[in-house]
Structure 1
Amino acid sequence: MFPIRCIPARRIFALALLLAAISLAGYPVKAAWYEASSDHFVIYADDDEDEIRIFAENLERYHSAMERFTGRDLPKPSPSNRITVYAVGSAGKVRQLAGSTGVVGFYLPRSSGSVAYVQDIRNKEGLADLSTKVLLHEYAHHFLSYTDRFAMPLWMNEGAAEFFSAAFFAPDGSVYLGVPSSFRDFTIFWKEEEMTSVRELLDLDWDRLKGRNAKDKQSFYGRSWILYHYLSTAEDRSGQLREYWLQVLRGTPSLEAAQATFGDLGVLERQLNRHFRDRNKKSYHIKADEIDASPVAMRALSDGEAAMMHIRISADRGLPTQATIGLAEQARNIASSYPENPAVQAVLAKVEYDARNNDAAVSAAKNTLALDPDRGDALLHKGLALFRKARGASDAVRKSSAYDEGMASLEQLGSKEPDHTVPLSHAYRYFVEQGLDPTDEAKLALVRSAELAPFDQELWLITGMMHMNDGRIADAKAALLPLASNPHGGEKAEQVRSLLSFLSDKSEGQAIPVQDAISSYFNSE
């Protein structure tokens, strides 16, 4: 699919994930906590320093290898928008945080900074362990979302992530992508009547897959991986995968595009089965001198940061408000022992904000900023807490004052990090939440925040509605169309399709007044 050398390689494991919530009170400390910081990741682990460094370096090598493979150089994210990775220990702790059994690692995409949870770090002679493989799988989705906002057909989306996450990190600094995955082998061939056929694979959407049993889902992922691998490496099918994807982008249904591009699907099925049995399946090898990985900076956490880490891990997971009330009490107890530690006070500000204790969040953020005036997370949660306080204020003067102070805090953060999505999106919210007409600058800021988070459907929906309000029909359609085609979109995608149908006969310049609806949505938070 892309012009990179193919070299035979060996095999690997695969995936899992999902949601819910639980606090990890009494989180045991095994060793010193470290932070490994690089251009795209921030990793926290209480493990061997050298092992953490190798893990962080491998993640950056993986990012660089994906850039090389796809031919796309992604812009470096704002420091606050890097992916935060927590190595939390056992599979049991991961499942506690996920709120789900059978999970070995999971990832939460957020425009304000995505978060991932893995088990203890294990650098297994170049092969990712299963928990890390989940991270690589989800990072592949994250990376690919930046290369094109249009979601791939479901099989291609998951097959691509499986393909990339089957990575081998060679001792010489090179990286292999698309290493044959032994974990998926047993899912590819059940009894013939239980196996997902190519025709079915190409036509499945997320809603139908969700209703299937675990064995059918495993078969889907396995067959998606082997089909993507085959179409990416078979010389006689070179270019077909790209052509298929282009046809889908033009609006051709997946199955129809496949038949036009791949030909007889029965022949493809037989070739795919032979490819699976081929013990010399190819992998893509990116040499060490082709890898341009960000350096990794290591830092041992202070005693206060280490003591607060189990609070931070749970808070970043996201908990129901009731659970955050107890977490905030724990955070206050710890913070009282470290009044001069800005990192500790900043975590307290976040937890108070999550518990909807707005005044306490602002107070903790101000305490943090008195110790470290440039602390970005304190500026963030001070601003967010003041915005929420303003929304709840009945007095017009206090409401306006809280909005002004909150925006000033977020603008200070934005001056430090111009590509931080929250100050950008709130430049628009500042006006709309107050029932005011946003400035052109504020509108451009909202568009920029959406561009920086292509996976954030809510941001793009609001952006589309803003364009509708201004009569920018073509821009509204461009913002909304990828949401409508998302195979994971479900009911929301159907609603966006209805919205696009409504726009189909609207003329450019025809304003559609929806700003009050946007304002109501913001103020309901």
Structure 2
Amino acid sequence: MKLRVAFLAMIAAAASPVQAKWYEASSEHFVIYADDSENDVREFAENLEKYHSAMALVSGRSVVTPSPSNRVTIFVVGSQRDIRKLAGSDSDTIAGFYVPRAGASRAFVQDIRNRSNGYPDFSTIILLHEYAHHFLIGSFRYAMPRWMSEGAAEFFASAGFNKDGSVQIGRPAMHRAGELHHADDVSVHELLDAELYEQRRGKGYDAFYGMSWALYHYLTFSEERSGQLGEYSGLVMRGKSSLEAAHEAFGDIDRLDKEIERYLRQRRMFNIKLPPERISYGPITLRELPEGEAEMMDVRIVSQRGVTREQALELLVDAREVAEKFPGDAGVLTALAEAEYDAGNDDEAIAAADRAIAIDPMRPNAYVQKGYALFRKAEDADDVEAAYAEAMEAFSALNKIENDHPLPLIYYYRSFIERGVRPSENARHALERASQLAPFDQGLALNTAMMFAEEGKIDVARFTLEPLAANPHGGPLAGQAKEYLEALEPVAEGTSWHPSSPELSDAVAAAAELKDGDEAAKD
């Protein structure tokens, strides 16, 4: 994995001492790793599952239960200072971050601070915000305007978990109060007109997130404007611009702006309180990590956040040291395989993965790292056909133990592309299925859209690109998606299209590298 940040020379500073007990909490939608008390870890896991259930109830949407590896994995890493180091940023506004990847979505948060009958800790709010994006992308795939995407995430993230088991959704976003009071003003008109916002946007900190929450909250609870948010959303879905849809659904925008000003001066606001009998979730399993896995957690956290090759070489020293002490621990050997792969040592990665699988054949990441290494070796193999067939064996084995893991599907498609062979119909279906399983993976969405465009499925390609182009955290891939959408405008349905310039082709190739170029979404 790669990222463009200074290396954490000693990630041990970002985690508690090795002697601390590490727990793995496993539930339907989350996996949590934390060196905290067993009770706190369990309560944290329960609250996250309650949050998922509450989002499904309030939004009226649902997502398919993810395969085990496609759940969001959360690492509890320490203080805000530790989070900033891990994120590679000096910003004092970062209290957590999320990296969406097919089969490997990761979130990094501060130490657990469970609170009952009150607002969650800010690091937890960040996690709830990012999971709201994750949930909404997975349950409703269309290009939401940025204000609506962020407003919805803020609306849900202001949640509360009460001692009686109830969950509150849509409480005032108190963590945005300072922003609304002190930051540069953003009008409702600017929220609804993205081009106007960009033209007027200053270099300083503004109230975009706070105002997005305010508008979403007001439209949700205002009796006078009941149903207008849904009408606006439907109009945007049918192709109206954000501003056109707003004029049609909301009417006079200046009037709406004044209503929001008055709304923010209110002393009381509505929220939704869901009683415990309406909240449902599956079992939560806690496992105390054995000594070897616990000692390897520092390495694992950094590796799964992302490292450059130079950083990987430094990290590998620690990984090998732990592996020498615990040669029979499958979790340790799986983490070693990843560290070896990141350092460019393909044979060593394969050997470590094979040792892990021999001890515990139910370690998905061992198959993943072996597959990655075999694919990289296949690029320079004398017998390319045989090398890629061998590489696919690791992913096929993974598919047998976890049928809906997206990576075997992605790499089946790539096994054709890497050999310069036109993908079979089954391979194309595999990539499409992977995109359905992991709609939050932006690189995967871009590649799937390009596949559709080449097949002449122009409308489907546009539909796939639009959410990516509108993603406020999309970075370079969002910009690329916008370029593709513009290029596809004159292309008729049924016409095969693919990027003609070397730059565009290179971008598609780069997007396929699932372990490269990861950018964290930070709020």
231-240 or 118-127, which deviates more: 118-127
User: Which of 94, 101, 109 is the matching residue for 1:110?
Assistant: 101
> Which blocks of at least 5 consecutive residues in structure 2 are unaligned?
514-523
User: Which of 424, 443, 462 is the matching residue for 2:428?
Assistant: 443
Correspondences of 1:401-420 after superposition (within 5 Å): 401-420=386-405
Report if aligned partners of 1:468, 1:514 keep a CA contact under 8 Å in 2.
Answer: no
User: Which of 167, 172, 194 is the matching residue for 2:164?
Assistant: 172
> Which blocks of at least 5 consecutive residues in structure 1 are unaligned?
1-17
What is the CA distance between 1:498 and its match in structure 2?
4.4
Structure 1 residue 88 and structure 2 residue 88: aligned? Answer: no
Matches of 2:400 and 2:506, distance apart in 1: 26
User: Which of 43, 49, 59 is the matching residue for 1:54?
Assistant: 43
Cα distance change of structure 1 residues 49 and 269 upon mapping to structure 2, 3 Å threshold: same
Percent sequence identity over aligned pairs: 46
Structure 1 residue 43 and structure 2 residue 29: aligned? Answer: no
Matches of 1:92 and 1:497, distance apart in 2: 36
Cα distance change of structure 1 residues 206 and 466 upon mapping to structure 2, 3 Å threshold: farther
**Residue matched to 1:248:** 236
Matches of 2:395 and 2:200, distance apart in 1: 40
**Residue matched to 2:333:** 345
Matches of 1:49 and 1:209, distance apart in 2: 50
Cα distance change of structure 1 residues 463 and 285 upon mapping to structure 2, 3 Å threshold: same
What is the CA distance between 1:26 and its match in structure 2?
3.1
**Residue matched to 2:517:** none
What is the CA distance between 1:523 and its match in structure 2?
11
287-296 or 463-472, which deviates more: 463-472
Computed over aligned residues only, the root mean square deviation of the Cα atoms, in angstroms, reads 2.6
Cα distance change of structure 1 residues 320 and 189 upon mapping to structure 2, 3 Å threshold: same
Report if aligned partners of 2:122, 2:175 keep a CA contact under 8 Å in 1.
Answer: no
Structure 1 residue 183 and structure 2 residue 183: aligned? Answer: no
1:405-442: per-residue Cα shift (whole Å, max 9, x none)? 21011011011111111101111111121112222111
TM-score, normalised by the number of residues in structure 2? 0.90
1:390-415: per-residue Cα shift (whole Å, max 9, x none)? 1133x1x2x33321121011011011
What is the CA distance between 1:379 and its match in structure 2?
0.8
**Residue matched to 1:137:** 129
**Residue matched to 1:454:** 439
Report if aligned partners of 1:467, 1:473 keep a CA contact under 8 Å in 2.
Answer: yes
1:342-374: per-residue Cα shift (whole Å, max 9, x none)? 000000001111122111111111111121223
Cα distance change of structure 1 residues 455 and 210 upon mapping to structure 2, 3 Å threshold: farther
Report if aligned partners of 2:152, 2:213 keep a CA contact under 8 Å in 1.
Answer: yes
Matches of 1:513 and 1:33, distance apart in 2: 48
1:134-161: per-residue Cα shift (whole Å, max 9, x none)? 1001101111111222231111111111
TM-score, normalised by the number of residues in structure 1? 0.89
1:152-209: per-residue Cα shift (whole Å, max 9, x none)? 1111111111110000111121110011122222322349xx4212112222369939
**Residue matched to 1:71:** 60
**Residue matched to 2:516:** none
What is the CA distance between 1:322 and its match in structure 2?
0.9
What is the CA distance between 1:495 and its match in structure 2?
4.3
What is the CA distance between 1:259 and its match in structure 2?
2.2
312-321 or 512-521, which deviates more: 512-521
Structure 1 residue 432 and structure 2 residue 417: aligned? Answer: yes
Report if aligned partners of 1:433, 1:519 keep a CA contact under 8 Å in 2.
Answer: no
**Residue matched to 1:10:** none
What is the CA distance between 1:496 and its match in structure 2?
3.6
Correspondences of 1:183-332 after superposition (within 5 Å): 183-190=175-182, 194-204=184-194, 208=198, 212-216=202-206, 219-332=207-320
Cα distance change of structure 1 residues 489 and 377 upon mapping to structure 2, 3 Å threshold: closer
Report if aligned partners of 1:387, 1:406 keep a CA contact under 8 Å in 2.
Answer: yes
Matches of 2:199 and 2:152, distance apart in 1: 17
Cα distance change of structure 1 residues 378 and 210 upon mapping to structure 2, 3 Å threshold: farther
User: Which of 450, 460, 463 is the matching residue for 1:478?
Assistant: 463
The letter of the residue matching 1:26 is: A
296-305 or 111-120, which deviates more: 111-120
430-439 or 226-235, which deviates more: 430-439
The letter of the residue matching 1:436 is: V
What is the CA distance between 1:277 and its match in structure 2?
2.1
The letter of the residue matching 1:479 is: T
**Residue matched to 1:11:** none
Report if aligned partners of 1:145, 1:151 keep a CA contact under 8 Å in 2.
Answer: no
The letter of the residue matching 2:49 is: E
Report if aligned partners of 1:433, 1:523 keep a CA contact under 8 Å in 2.
Answer: no
Q: Secondary structure at the match of 2:33?
A: strand
Aligned length: 501
Cα distance change of structure 1 residues 158 and 480 upon mapping to structure 2, 3 Å threshold: closer
Q: Secondary structure at the match of 1:418?
A: coil
What is the CA distance between 1:300 and its match in structure 2?
0.5
Report if aligned partners of 2:446, 2:508 keep a CA contact under 8 Å in 1.
Answer: no
Report if aligned partners of 2:74, 2:108 keep a CA contact under 8 Å in 1.
Answer: yes
Q: Secondary structure at the match of 1:392?
A: coil
Matches of 1:215 and 1:499, distance apart in 2: 31
Cα distance change of structure 1 residues 82 and 21 upon mapping to structure 2, 3 Å threshold: farther
**Residue matched to 1:26:** 12
Report if aligned partners of 1:362, 1:385 keep a CA contact under 8 Å in 2.
Answer: yes
Matches of 2:20 and 2:189, distance apart in 1: 51
Report if aligned partners of 2:447, 2:511 keep a CA contact under 8 Å in 1.
Answer: no
Report if aligned partners of 1:206, 1:487 keep a CA contact under 8 Å in 2.
Answer: no
Cα distance change of structure 1 residues 256 and 512 upon mapping to structure 2, 3 Å threshold: closer
Matches of 2:185 and 2:294, distance apart in 1: 48
Q: Secondary structure at the match of 1:32?
A: coil
What is the CA distance between 1:251 and its match in structure 2?
2.6
Matches of 1:279 and 1:491, distance apart in 2: 42
**Residue matched to 2:113:** 122
Report if aligned partners of 1:41, 1:82 keep a CA contact under 8 Å in 2.
Answer: yes
What is the CA distance between 1:476 and its match in structure 2?
2.8
Structure 1 residue 147 and structure 2 residue 148: aligned? Answer: no
The letter of the residue matching 1:46 is: D
Matches of 2:273 and 2:430, distance apart in 1: 40
1:464-522: per-residue Cα shift (whole Å, max 9, x none)? 22223333334333333433444555665454444345444545443346799599927
**Residue matched to 2:520:** none
Report if aligned partners of 1:469, 1:514 keep a CA contact under 8 Å in 2.
Answer: no
The letter of the residue matching 2:156 is: F
